[in-house]
């Protein structure tokens, strides 16, 4: 008796299978699924279809976020007066510090503009910022993605860089009307062009699928990079604006016989904690997005 025998018998005996319709259905649905996967890998148009289909699961995403939102709401209302006063004081102090820096920054910006004028550089420093809130994170550990509450209705577009208060978080990979999906820089599919802030050394930081690490794979063994170096976005690739902190080098491994050094860096953004995010829009960026649409 061969293995397929009981399946065959089941198909004959079992009225539920009505002949072989289940097998037929199985083959048909299987083929549809496989062609969907292939299409999703191959064609860019799938992005837009996915954007509209995602509306179907938006209510689930909102529902899942309800406990967290109500907890924050309760927490804000139940905080004791003393705590609020203390927090207020602390925030005032922080604002003061920040203001001092901003004053300095204003002077530097003006100076920068003047110097750029001297150089006849056309590069602009102004960027539009949208503040967005996280409404869900992906529950699948293989893909590092978060969902935010801005969709194309409020100006988010595919390819838009996303930051938090401390560094680059990622970029938008799909938008629907009211939500967008952000691919984090630590996702195994993601790479971001960076440079070492100290000396301008350029490289690319790859995600490894772990929240704490990025890897630089293409630095020669003799490259000038040290533990503690800050990596900032280099602006090459025209996706991320230049000069935002991305990661801090935590390990440089030289091994004899290898052409490339192994460099690990820890993202400066709080990828698994931040709840308020900034969507950056540079004029240059928007042009690219528009071209991509056509």
Partner 1 sequence: MVVQAAHNLWVPIVTLLIAFMLSALPMLEWVQWGWPEWVLIVFIYWVIALPHRFGLGWAFILGLLLDLLQGNHLGVNALAMVVVTFFAMLMYRRLRMYRAWQQAFVIFVLVAINQCISYWFQGIGSNASSGLWFLLPAPVSGVLWLWLFVVLRGVRRAFKVA
Binding site for partner 1 (CB under 8 A): 7, 10, 16, 22, 25-26, 29-30, 32-37, 39-41, 46, 50, 53-54, 56-57, 60-61, 63-64, 68, 136-143, 145, 173-174, 181, 188-189, 206, 208-209, 211, 272
Cβ closest to partner 1, residue 35 vs residue 79:
35
Give least dist CB 272 to partner 1, A. Answer: 7
Residue 220 pairs with which residues in a beta bridge? 260
**Which one, 121 or 210, has the nearer CB to partner 1?**
210
Cα–Cα distance for residue pair 58/179, rounded to 1 Å: 8
Phi, psi at 106, each rounded to 5°:
-60, -45
Taking the complex as a whole, how short is the minimal distance between the CB of residue 18 and partner 1, in angstroms? 11
For residue 167, which phi and psi values (nearest 5 degrees)? 170, -175
Q: Which two tokens stand for residue 13?
A: 């005996």
Q: How far apart are CA 108 and CA 59, in angstroms?
A: 46
Nearer to partner 1, 135 or 232 (CB): 135
Q: How far is the CB of 7 from partner 1 (least distance, A)?
A: 6
Q: Which residues contact 166 (CB under 8 A, 6 or more apart)?
A: 245, 268, 269, 270, 274
Nearer residue to partner 1 within complex by CB, 50 or 242? 50
Task: Give me 173's structure tokens.
Answer: 């990979």
| In the complex, least distance from residue 113 CB atom to partner 1, rounded to whole angstroms | 40
CB of 153 vs partner 1, minimal distance in Å? 18
Q: Which residue is associated with the tokens 């935002």?
A: 244
> Which residues, in sequence order, are bridge partners of residue 145?
183
21/103 with CB nearer partner 1: 21
Which CB, 16 or 78, lies closer to partner 1? 16
Positions of E strands within 138-270: 145-148, 161-164, 167-175, 180-184, 191-196, 202-207, 214-216, 230-233, 245-253, 262-267
- Distance between CA atoms of residues 249 and 246, nearest Å: 10
Residue 172 beta carbon to partner 1: minimum distance, rounded to whole angstroms:
12
């Amino acid at each position: 008796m061969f293995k397929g025998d009981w399946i065959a018998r089941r198909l004959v005996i079992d009225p539920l299978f009505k002949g072989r319709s289940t097998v037929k259905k199985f083959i048909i649905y299987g083929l549809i699924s496989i062609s969907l996967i292939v299409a999703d890998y191959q064609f860019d148009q799938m992005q837009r279809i996915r954007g509209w289909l995602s509306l179907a699961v938006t209510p689930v995403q909102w529902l899942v976020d309800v406990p967290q939102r109500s907890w924050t709401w309760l927490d804000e209302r139940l905080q004791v007066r003393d705590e609020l006063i203390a927090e207020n004081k602390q925030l005032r102090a922080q604002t003061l510090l920040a203001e001092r820096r901003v004053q300095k920054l204003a002077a530097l910006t003006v100076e920068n503009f003047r110097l750029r004028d001297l150089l006849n550089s056309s590069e602009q420093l102004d960027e539009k910022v949208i503040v967005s809130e996280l409404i869900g994170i992906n529950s699948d550990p293989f893909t590092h993605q978060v969902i935010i509450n801005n969709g194309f209705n409020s100006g988010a577009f595919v390819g838009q860089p996303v930051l938090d208060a401390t560094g680059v978080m990622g970029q938008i990979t799909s938008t629907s009307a009211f939500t967008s999906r952000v691919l984090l820089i630590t996702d195994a599919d993601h790479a971001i062009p960076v440079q070492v802030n100290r000396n301008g050394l350029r490289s690319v930081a790859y995600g490894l699928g772990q929240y704490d690490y990025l890897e630089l794979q293409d630095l020669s063994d003799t490259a000038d990079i040290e533990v503690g170096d800050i990596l900032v976005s280099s602006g090459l690739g025209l996706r991320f604006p230049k000069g935002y902190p991305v990661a801090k080098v935590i390990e440089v491994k030289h091994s004899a016989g290898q052409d490339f050094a192994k460099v690990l860096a820890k993202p400066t953004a709080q990828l698994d904690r931040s709840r308020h995010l900034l969507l950056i829009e540079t004029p240059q960026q928007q042009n690219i997005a528009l071209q991509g649409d056509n």
